[in-house]
C-alpha cells in the first residue's frame, strides 16, 4: 500500500490538525510515520523555539507506543518535497500558508507525485469515506482499490458517481457496482448530475456523514473542468472540515495487487 506516512507539521501538532490525523492513519494501516518540519511555517510565537513541536510529537508517539521518524530541515518547500518517496502518502493541513498549500497542491497534480492527503484542522474519528467516481476518467481499478483502502481504515465506503447526465450516471454506476461485486466488495452507491462538481460533492459528503473524500488523480483537462474558474486552493478550501485524498492511478493498482498478494498468502 503506502511505504510511509509523511506528515508536514504545522502549529497544531501534536494534539490536533494534520499530525493527529496522521497518527490515526498510522495506527489503522500500520505504516511507518515520518514527520517533516520547516521553520518558515512556524507561527511567530514559536520562532525562537522551533524544535519544541517536534519534541512534543516525538514524546506523544513514545508515550502511546508509536514509532516516529523525524526530519527537521531549514531548507525551502522544494527541499522537503525532494525527500519524498514515490510510494509515500503525504499529509498536510489547512494551517500552512496559502502559498505553501497552493504549491503543494500543484505538485500533487504531477503524474509521478505520491498520494496526497489534505487534512482539516479538526481530526474527527474516521468512520465513513466518500469515493468519488468521476465518469469521465475514474477507473474500476481505482474504485476497487479505494474501497479496499476504506476497509483497511475501518471505515464504511460510499461510491458517488458524477456524470453530466442521469443516463450517463446510471450506466457508470452499473459498471462500478459490477467491479465491486467481482472483487467481493460492497459499498453504498449514489450519483449526482451536473457540471458544478466541487460544491455538490462536498454537500453529499456531509449529508452522508463522511470525513474523507477519495478521488483518482485526474488529467489536467479534468482538473480544469473541476476548478471551473476557481483556484486550486479555493476548490480544496470549500471542502471545509472534509479531508481529501488524491490517489495517482498507479497507487490504485498497487493497492489492489498488494491486497491480492496478502489475501493469497493468508489462505
What is the pLDDT at residue 170?
Answer: 92
The more confidently predicted of residues 223 and 96 is 96
- 251 vs 97: CA distance, rounded Å: 28
133 with 51, same domain: the answer is: no
Percentage of the residues of the chain whose pLDDT score is greater than 70: 73
What is the pLDDT at residue 186?
Answer: 92
Give pTM, 2 decimals.
0.81
pLDDT band at 196 (very low <50, low <70, confident <90, very high): low
What is the pLDDT at residue 221?
Answer: 47
Please give the C-alpha separations between residue 126 and each of 10, 116, 161, 210, 244, in angstroms, as whole numbers: 21, 17, 21, 8, 12
212 exposure class (CB count in 10 Å sphere: 0-12, 13-18, 19+): buried
Question: Cell numbers of 169, please?
Answer: 450516471
86 with 175, same domain: the answer is: no
Question: Cell numbers of 21, please?
Answer: 490525523
The more confidently predicted of residues 222 and 193 is 193
Number of domains composing the chain? 2
Angle between helices 197-207 and 220-227 in degrees, nearest 10: 80
86 with 189, same domain: the answer is: no
Q: Which of 53, 47, 48 is nearest to 7 (CA)?
A: 53
Q: Is 124 helix (H, G, I), strand (E, B) or coil?
A: coil
111 with 138, same domain: the answer is: no
203 with 164, same domain: the answer is: yes
- 192 vs 26: CA distance, rounded Å: 33
113: domain range?
4-119
What is the pLDDT at residue 26?
Answer: 92
What is the pLDDT at residue 252?
Answer: 43
Q: Which of 112, 76, 96, 75 is nearest to 7 (CA)?
A: 96
CATH number of the domain encompassing residue 140? 3.40.50.620
Report the DSSP beta bridge partners of residue 195.
none
What is the pLDDT at residue 154?
Answer: 95
Q: Which of 89, 104, 91, 111 is nearest to 243 (CA)?
A: 91
Percentage of the residues of the chain whose pLDDT score is greater than 90: 29
Q: Which of 91, 115, 102, 86 is nearest to 24 (CA)?
A: 91
The more confidently predicted of residues 195 and 26 is 26
102 with 193, same domain: the answer is: no
The H or E element that residue 223 is part of is helix 220-227
How confident is the model over 126-137, as pLDDT tens digits? 999 999 998 767
- 180 vs 153: CA distance, rounded Å: 18
23 with 98, same domain: the answer is: yes
pLDDT band at 157 (very low <50, low <70, confident <90, very high): very high
Q: 38-52, 54-68, 246-260 — which one is most confidently predicted on average?
A: 54-68
What is the pLDDT at residue 64?
Answer: 75
Q: Is 106 helix (H, G, I), strand (E, B) or coil?
A: helix
- 202 vs 241: CA distance, rounded Å: 10
Q: Is 261 helix (H, G, I), strand (E, B) or coil?
A: helix
160 with 214, same domain: the answer is: yes
What is the pLDDT at residue 262?
Answer: 43
Amino acid at each position: 500500500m503506502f511505504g510511509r506516512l509523511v506528515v508536514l507539521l504545522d502549529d497544531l501538532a501534536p494534539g490536533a490538525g494534520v499530525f493527529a490525523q496522521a497518527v490515526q492513519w498510522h495506527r489503522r494501516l500500520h505504516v511507518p510515520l515520518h514527520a517533516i518540519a520547516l521553520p518558515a511555517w512556524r507561527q511567530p510565537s514559536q520562532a525562537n523555539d522551533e524544535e519544541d513541536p517536534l519534541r512534543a510529537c516525538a514524546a506523544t508517539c513514545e508515550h502511546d507506543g508509536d514509532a516516529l521518524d523525524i526530519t527537521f530541515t531549514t531548507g525551502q518547500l522544494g527541499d522537503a518535497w525532494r525527500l519524498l518517496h514515490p510510494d509515500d502518502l503525504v499529509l498536510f493541513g489547512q494551517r500552512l500558508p496559502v502559498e505553501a498549500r497552493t504549491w503543494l497542491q500543484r505538485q500533487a497534480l504531477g503524474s509521478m507525485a505520491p498520494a496526497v492527503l489534505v487534512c482539516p484542522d479538526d481530526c474527527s474519528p474516521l468512520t465513513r469515506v466518500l469515493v468519488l467516481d468521476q465518469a469521465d476518467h475514474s477507473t474500476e481499478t481505482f474504485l476497487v482499490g479505494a474501497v479496499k483502502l476504506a476497509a483497511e481504515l475501518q471505515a464504511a465506503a460510499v461510491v458517488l458517481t458524477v456524470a453530466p447526465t442521469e443516463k450517463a450516471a446510471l450506466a457508470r454506476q452499473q459498471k462500478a457496482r459490477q467491479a465491486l461485486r467481482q472483487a467481493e466488495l460492497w459499498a453504498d452507491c449514489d450519483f449526482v448530475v451536473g457540471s458544478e462538481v466541487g460544491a455538490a460533492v462536498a454537500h453529499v459528503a456531509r449529508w452522508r456523514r463522511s470525513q474523507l473524500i477519495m478521488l483518482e488523480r485526474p488529467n489536467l483537462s479534468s482538473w480544469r473542468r473541476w476548478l471551473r474558474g476557481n483556484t486550486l486552493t479555493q476548490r480544496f478550501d470549500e471542502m471545509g472540515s472534509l479531508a481529501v485524498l488524491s490517489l495517482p492511478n498507479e497507487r490504485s493498482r498497487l493497492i489492489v495487487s498488494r491486497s491480492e498478494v496478502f489475501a493469497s498468502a493468508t489462505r
